[in-house]
Structure 1
């Protein structure tokens, strides 16, 4: 997370000190169109190095410098305390201790990944992120996905379920997506939505 990120229906201070509200597309109608949808996000959001992008694996370029990751501290187990960031009262302490490795695929499969220059995916969409997208997605059970969409809400009144809270795919433009040097077959299809399941897996784990 970045301190400049704001949650859904968050406030965004633009040039000249003016404050406006941004939201996801699904929130426009419930808000009576009083917030700014993705097409109107301010800051750097309309620039040309934005995220997320649709990764077409057949068009990626091998980078021999992209080797294996070294994960430090990911094996330490904690009983995490989780807080929904200000949009509900939805705090909880996990019943059992888990490590970050418990939420990820086998370490050996993490050798296969893609990398590109991008941005934050919420206003002000600062273009200062080097994205790493792993080839192997995190698998989720249908019940986990339903738990995520049924137990979290955009508003304190809990009238709008937190679904479709992702930014639309952005144009890759002149950027190049690189792939790691680890051997292995390329995926047969693009990767437009791998980030959302990964984040959903982390959040659903906290809800248990």
Structure 2
């Protein structure tokens, strides 16, 4: 589904409601008013517009109000100039325009099966979990080995559309980002100074009729971190249990982009896997129970898609090759007269 264009709630502030909002603007000046009156009205409009459009910290559109002044996504470049760059993320991937790249081979996931029990935190914008840096990825046309640093999620409202990236305009309910940096860097700040210093693996979620038991440690922990800066110990989990099986990770998209939150640094190699992760509606709803710092429901935690600006998006050939091999085997079997077992 296409994402609607975001609009600042205070732009159309003239209203006939009895209870005026803090952003109510005075009526336009009549031609009969004196020049002095017009100057006063103009000054009032300017001051109110400054008040209501906000300044300071960045926020998602769902957080913006005149009571909570912040830079919503369309004004993130005011919070950080990098957000106005030409290679920003997320993007809409138009599958028919992607370029097949045979060099996009399967990844090698090292220590992804190892369990850990790090804290899970509501950081005011999302849910985030630090990952022991012994978990690494390589292959997949990455320039070197990258080590995992953290993972976090982006979601919509009450299980509705909420992924950051979209595929042919379709927005999934949620998106997981596992953030990695080049193995020799000590921290993300240093890695982000390298144009290829960070590699993020992105996974989409789809609604399922049954609960995903592998996600129960995270879903259960959400009840203890509803408020901003809330954190709790996470039951033992592994990265491999959160994502599809390795044999189902051969089909993916690749492009170069940025962080999807300010500072929007353009130093990310993005990999987005086709196979989605199933979660029940009840599990998806659990994320909308979290709270932003002002107490509002933490929903709509995604940045709108950004212009491609001439960048190329590549696709791996793994899934296509697998399908072709299967069809070939079926053709041979049929030709030889073998029947399939019931």
TM-score range, shorter chain: 0.7 to 0.9
**TM-score, length basis structure 2:** 0.45
Alignment correspondent of 2:63: 27
Structure 1 residue 48 displacement after superposition: 1.5
Residue 84 (str. 1) matches residue 223 (str. 2) = no
Distance 1:183 1:83 in 2: 36
Distance 1:89 1:125 in 2: 22
Alignment correspondent of 2:91: 53
Alignment correspondent of 1:176: 312
Alignment correspondent of 2:267: 128
Pick the aligned partner of 1:154 from 292, 308, 312: 292
Indicate conservation of the 8 Å contact 2:60/2:302, yes or no: yes
**TM-score, length basis structure 1:** 0.72
Distance 2:232 2:312 in 1: 41
Q: Deviations over 1:3-43 (max 9, x none)?
A: xxxxxxxxxxxxxxxx92111111112x5362111111122
Alignment correspondent of 2:233: 93
Give the match's secondary structure for 2:249. Answer: helix
Alignment correspondent of 2:280: 141
Structure 1 residue 109 displacement after superposition: 1.0
Indicate conservation of the 8 Å contact 2:259/2:265, yes or no: yes
CA-based RMSD: 1.9
Structure 1 residue 64 displacement after superposition: 1.2
Ranked by relative contact order (alpha carbons within 8 Å, sequence separation 6 or more), the top structure is 1
Distance 1:80 1:145 in 2: 22
Describe the shift of the 1:89–1:118 C-alpha distance in structure 2 as closer, same or farther (beyond 3 A): closer
Alignment correspondent of 1:37: 72
| Runs of 5+ consecutive residues of structure 1 not aligned to the other structure | 1-18, 186-208
Alignment correspondent of 2:106: 68
Structure 1 residue 184 displacement after superposition: 2.7
Alignment correspondent of 2:157: none
Q: Deviations over 1:133-181 (max 9, x none)?
A: 001111221111111111x1111x5x20110010001111201100112
More strand by share: 2
Structure 1 residue 89 displacement after superposition: 4.3
Structure 1 residue 88 displacement after superposition: 2.2
Distance 1:84 1:109 in 2: 30
Give the match's secondary structure for 1:111. Answer: coil
Distance 1:91 1:130 in 2: 29
Distance 2:228 2:262 in 1: 21
Aligned residues: 162
Structure 1 residue 183 displacement after superposition: 3.2
